[in-house]
Amino acid sequence: MSAKRSIQRALISVYDKTNLIELARGLHDAGVEIVSTGSTAKTIADKGIPVTPVEFVTGFPEILDGRVKTLHPRIHGGLLADSRNPAHVKALQAHDIAPFDLLVVNLYPFSETVASGASEDECVEQIDIGGPAMVRAAAKNHATVAVVVDPLGYDGVLAAVRSGGFTLEERKRLASLAFRHTAEYDVAVATWMGSTLAPEEDAPAALPQWVGATWKRTAVLRYGENPHQQAALYRNDAEWPGLAQAEQLHGKEMSYNNYTDADAAWRAAFDHEDICVAIIKHANPCGIAISSTSVADAHRKAHACDPLSAFGGVIAANTTVSVEMAETVADIFTEVIVAPAYEPGAVEVLSRKKNIRVLVASEPAVGGTEFRQVSGGLLVQQRDEFTAPGDDPANWTLATGEPADPATLADLKFAWRACRAVKSNAIVVAADGATVGVGMGQVNRVDAARLAVQRAGDRVRGAVAASDAFFPFPDGLEVLIEAGVKAVVHPGGSVRDEEVTAAAAKAGITLYLTGARHFAH
C-alpha cells in the first residue's frame, strides 16, 4: 500500500450542510486550514471555527447571484496541480497559489427541484456549475487531492486526517466515486433538458432521441439463471421504486430467478382492479385469481389452478396479506411472497418457513417504458398496459352468439387481463374469477389451447377462454369448443376471422372481438 498523503489544506463547498460542523471542527482540531464558499463558510464561522472565505483567496467577490465564485485560477490551480510534477510546483510558486489536499463538495439538488414541480427557471438555477467543475478537477488530480462528495463519508475523512492522510489507493477510490456522482448528475440534467426544456417536435415523448441512466450495484447474487453464470442486482433509484427496491422482511437471499419471477408476479397481480393473487413460476402463471371477499380466497383460487406447478413458485398479492392467507402459504413450499403490506402477525406466520423470502414493495408505476437488450443495442417500448379501447368490454364487438350475462362477461374480462401475464402464444381458461387452465409459450395457438384445456380438466366445461392474439384458423378455437368452453374473447384481425366466427356460430358459443392484442415474449 502506498504512503499516506497528509491533509494540510481543505476546500469545502456544500449545499447539504448535514454533519458539516462536525467535519469542520474535526479538521480544525487536526490543524487543517479550511477554505470555504458562501453559506458554507458562514455556517462554519457562525460556530466559531476559523475559516477563510473563498473570495479572500481569489481576491474577487461572488457575482451573478453566486453563479461565479470558485471558477478562478487560484482555486482550480490549487486543485489541479500535480505535486509530483516539478513544473506544476514551480507554476504554483510563481503565481502564489497554495495547493489543496482535500475537497469536500456536494451539489445543488437538481433532481429534487425537478421532482418538486418547480418552474423551468427554478430548475435551471439548480444546475450546479462550479461544484462539478471542482469535483472533476480534484478527481482528475487524485494523485495529490482527495475528494469527498457524500456527507456519509465525513467520518472516514476525519479518521484519515487523524491517521496521517489518505493513501493513493484510497484517493483513487474516492475519485471513482466522485466521477460517478457527476455522471449521475449530468444524466439527470440532460434527461430533463431533452424531455422538458427542449423536447423533440413530432416525436413520441416516451421515446426520446437520447436515453441516459445510471445503475448502482446493490447485491452480488449467488449466480444467474444457471450456476455457471455470474449475476448481480443493480438499482436505478431515480425511477419509481420497484422490485429492486423491495424490502426483504424474512428469508434467504434473493436469487436472479427469484427477482425475475417476483417482478412478473408483481405486475400480474396489479393487472387487476379487484383483490388479486398471482402465482408465477419460470415467468408464467401457475394461477391468477381475483376475489370480492378476501385475499385468502384469491390465493386459494389461484393455487387451485395448478397446485403441482405452484410448488416452489412465487406469490404476489396486490393488497395486504392477511394472517389467514399466510397460514395457507406457510403450508406450501414457496420461494417468494411479495405484497404492499402484511397484517400484524402475518410475517410471523410466514417466518415459520426459514427460507421463504418475504418482500414488501411499492405499487408498480403506471405507464413508463421498458427496455430489452439486443446485440449492440436496446429495444425500447411503452409498457404494455390495459389502455387500448379494446381492453374495455364496453368496446368489444359481439361476433356471434348471445351477449354474455354479467357473470360471464366478468370472467371474460378477467381472462383477457390474465392473458397479458402469459407468454405467447397464450390461451387462458377461466371460471369464477380464476384461471383454471393456462396454455403458455407455445409456438402455435392450437397447442396453447390444448395445453390450457388439458390443465383445466373437467373445469373447462362451462368456463370461458381468452386468447392474447387472434385465431389464425378455426382449429385453435375448435379445441376450446370441443372441451366445453361457453364463451371466448380474442382480438380478431385475421384474414380468416369469418371462418373462426363461423366455427363459433356453428357451436352456438359467444365470441367477442377486442381489436387489441397483448403479446408477451
Q: Please list the active-site residues.
A: 140, 282
CA-CA-CA-CA torsion sign (356, 362, 363, 364):
negative
CA-based Rg of the chain, rounded to a whole angstrom?
31
To which H or E segment does residue 94 belong? helix 86-94
Beta strands (DSSP E) in 312-411 are 313-317, 334-339, 357-360, 369-374, 377-382, 397-400
Q: Which three cell numbers stand for residue 14?
A: 456544500
Q: Which three cell numbers stand for residue 71?
A: 471558477
Strand partners, 113: none
Kindly list the distances between the CA atom of residue 519 and the CA atoms of 87, 93, 381, 454, in Å, as whole numbers in the listed order.
65, 70, 13, 22
Give the whole-angstrom CA distance, residue 519 versus residue 504.
23
Give the whole-angstrom CA distance, residue 409 versus residue 404.
5
End-to-end C-alpha distance for the chain, whole angstroms? 51
- Burial of residue 123 (CB within 10 Å: 0-12, 13-18, 19+) is buried
Query: 92 and 81 in contact (C-beta within 8 Å)?
Result: yes
Q: What is the dihedral of CA 182, 184, 190, 196, to 10 degrees?
A: -130
Closest alpha carbon to 399 in 499, 516, 517? 499
Closest alpha carbon to 126 in 15, 240, 212, 11? 15
- DSSP per-residue string spanning 203-259: S-TTS-S------EEEEEES-SSSTTS-EEEEE-TTSPP-GGGPEEEESSPPPHHHH
Query: 138 and 12 in contact (C-beta within 8 Å)?
Result: no
Kindly list the distances between the CA atom of residue 392 and the CA atoms of 80, 154, 501, in Å, as whole numbers in the listed order.
63, 56, 21
- Burial of residue 214 (CB within 10 Å: 0-12, 13-18, 19+) is middle
